Amino acid sequence: MSKQWLAALAAGLLTAAPASALEIRVDPAPVYVFDLSPDRGIYDVLLQNILVLNDADQPVEVTGLRVELFAMGELLSSARVPATKISARAAQFAGLDQAGVLSMMDFQFHLSTLLPEGARLSGDASLEPQEAYLNSGLYVASSGLPDTARITVEGPGADLGQVEVPVSRYQSPTEYRVPVNGRWMVVASADAAQHHRWVLSSEFAIDIVRMRKDFMSHKGTGERLTDYATFGAPVLAAADGVVVAARDDRPDNAAMMRRPDEAFDAYLQRVMSLQQAILAENGFEGAAGNHLLIRHTSGEYALYAHLREGSLRVKAGDEVRAGDAIAQAGSSGNSTEPHLHFQIIDGPDLNSARGIPFEFSGLKEDWISMQHRHLRAGDVIEQE
Ligand SMILES: [Zn+2]
């Protein structure tokens, strides 16, 4: 790896060589794969944010954006954003920026650090000097494990700029155990079809629910929080560490649950307005509800979210050992039914940290073998 890359990695992003008039910023970088089907050698990557900034004194027209994945110099797969999509997205993002949505969602778009002082987003594919185009959520799957992603900005008749970022299958230096006891089901993972993957700090997060003996998550109709086996279940530290953030003063959010007589569309509308209110008030931290953030010696942080009101057994500054009971699972923050949201991030700030992949060690293999691959929705997990 070149010294230039190392310096860029230290800064948390990678920048194109100044040979072109365009600056291409990829955030976060490097890029980590998710195991889509590792037994068949299929992986996927999501380029969360690509910012194309016109540093020249002439306008430039962006007619395409191309991502190519390579392994040892061999092209594995590619994806391309055509000119029509670039125009539409530029208009959409400029509108969202004016409405204040992008600053409210800085935990996702990182514009406060990505966009240099004095620069602004363009409303179309023509970038005036100091105008930028933001491409968020560019997904590519590949047959074979890539080591490099090449991002190319296309112009009329010629490419305008290019940058390469390293891609890898991240291996955590920390050994994590399942943060609960008993049999739990993964109901959301980093699968691209699910919500976590598209949120930068939650990219590799999992949602888990406790299963009853009859394999249901709740008894009866599940109208009440206490109907759920998850609600009040002990949450355990996944590894040794130190608590850096703790709060449990938020109510468990029964209002977010679907009412038995409620049509799905009406429920969706209602939940979306509740979610927007939470984000507008406290951003990602508000969405996490009651939570614990624990720092591990590797420099990784584990976030336990949607914990039960008043259930924390540790406070900031406390040391914990793997397996210690630290709280109870609940349904606070942006939670539509009791579950534990667990994610590993690379820093203590929920608004600037990135999500990183992890695996649990010591899983029981009774149900399906999940050793050596990332968890998927439908996996049943239980600590040995
Ligand atoms: Zn979640």
**Tens digits of residue pLDDT in 105-148:** 899 999 999 999 999 999 999 999 999 999 999 999 999 999 99
Q: What separation in Å is there between the alpha carbon of 306 and the centre of ligand 1?
A: 9
Element (H, E) at 284: helix 264-288
Q: How far apart are CA 339 and CA 360, in angstroms?
A: 18
Q: What separation in Å is there between the alpha carbon of 339 and the centre of ligand 1?
A: 8
Q: Is the pLDDT of residue 2 over 50?
A: no
Mean pLDDT: which of 164-178, 280-294, 364-378 is highest? 164-178
pTM to 2 decimal places: 0.90
Cβ neighbour number for residue 189 with a 10 Å cutoff: 22
Q: What separation in Å is there between the alpha carbon of 157 and the centre of ligand 1?
A: 44
Q: What separation in Å is there between the alpha carbon of 161 and the centre of ligand 1?
A: 37
Q: What separation in Å is there between the alpha carbon of 304 and the centre of ligand 1?
A: 10
Domains in the chain (CATH in brackets) are 3-168 (2.60.40.10), 184-381 (2.70.70.10)
For residue 343, give the nearest of 201, 231, 241, 243 by alpha carbon.
201
Q: What separation in Å is there between the alpha carbon of 206 and the centre of ligand 1?
A: 6
Q: What separation in Å is there between the alpha carbon of 205 and the centre of ligand 1?
A: 6
The overall average pLDDT reported for the chain is 91
Q: What separation in Å is there between the alpha carbon of 208 and the centre of ligand 1?
A: 8
Q: What separation in Å is there between the alpha carbon of 286 and the centre of ligand 1?
A: 13
Phi, psi torsion values for 257, nearest 5 degrees: -80, 150
Q: Which three-class secondary structure string do you get for 79-143?
A: EEEEHHHHHHHHHHHHHHHHCCHHHHCHHHHCHHHHCCCCCEECCCCEECCCEEEEEEEEEEEEE
**Tens digits of residue pLDDT in 202-252:** 999 999 999 998 889 999 888 899 999 999 999 999 999 999 999 999 999
Q: How far apart are CA 357 and CA 34, in angstroms?
A: 8
CA dihedral 204→210→216→218, nearest 10 degrees, is -110
Res 225: pLDDT: 95
Q: Is the pLDDT of residue 19 over 80?
A: no
Cβ neighbour number for residue 57 with a 10 Å cutoff: 9
